Amino acid sequence: MMLTWKDVIHFSVNGNPKPDRRVEKTEQEWKEILTSEQFRVTRKKGTEAPHSGALCTVHDAGKYECICCGTSLFDSTIKFESGTGWPSFTQPIKENAIKYHKDTSYGMIRVEVMCNTCDAHLGHVFPDGPEPSGLRYCINSESMQLEKEETHG
């Protein structure tokens, strides 16, 4: 199933799909397993500077996982160059991998995306991505790790 902007808005207003599992830790437990920058971005809803993230220009095959809990979020096959300065994707790996929240900070209305397993802040989703979904998931590098696919050869 391909998600559309209509689906994103529906989830942000009416509730998100149930995750496969939940991971919950105290603030102190998160601080013990994350770098200070990962903690600032994922647990305090921070944003890394554009074009500064380690995953911006990476195009290796694999799965992008939540840095906090290891949940698969995005597949490398749907990553694209948006020119925004953050890794961008057109779809989550599964409908219930991402949690959506209406964000009215900074005088704007946006849709925040979080890991549906552990509530880590990932970034935002916008309706200006490429076809066929039209979605652009704009994600902080600090919130993900790339689990590269094994190459046989």
138 is catalytic: yes
Q: How confident is the model at residue 151 (pLDDT cuts 50, 70, 90)?
A: low
The pair of three-digit structure tokens given for residue 120, joined into one six-digit string: 């880590």
- Under DSSP, is residue 31 helix (H, G, I), strand (E, B) or coil? helix
Question: Domains in the chain, please, with CATH?
Answer: 5-17+51-148 (2.170.150.20)
- In the sheet that holds 72-75, the strands lie side by side as 72-75, 62-66, 144-148
- pTM of the entire structure? 0.94
Give the dihedral of Cα atoms 2, 22, 111, 64; nearest 10 deg. -60
Amino acid 152: pLDDT: 62
Mean pLDDT value of segment 76-85: 95
Mean pLDDT (the chain, rounded): 95
Q: How confident is the model at residue 102 (pLDDT cuts 50, 70, 90)?
A: very high
What proportion of the chain, given as a percentage, has pLDDT over 70?
A: 98
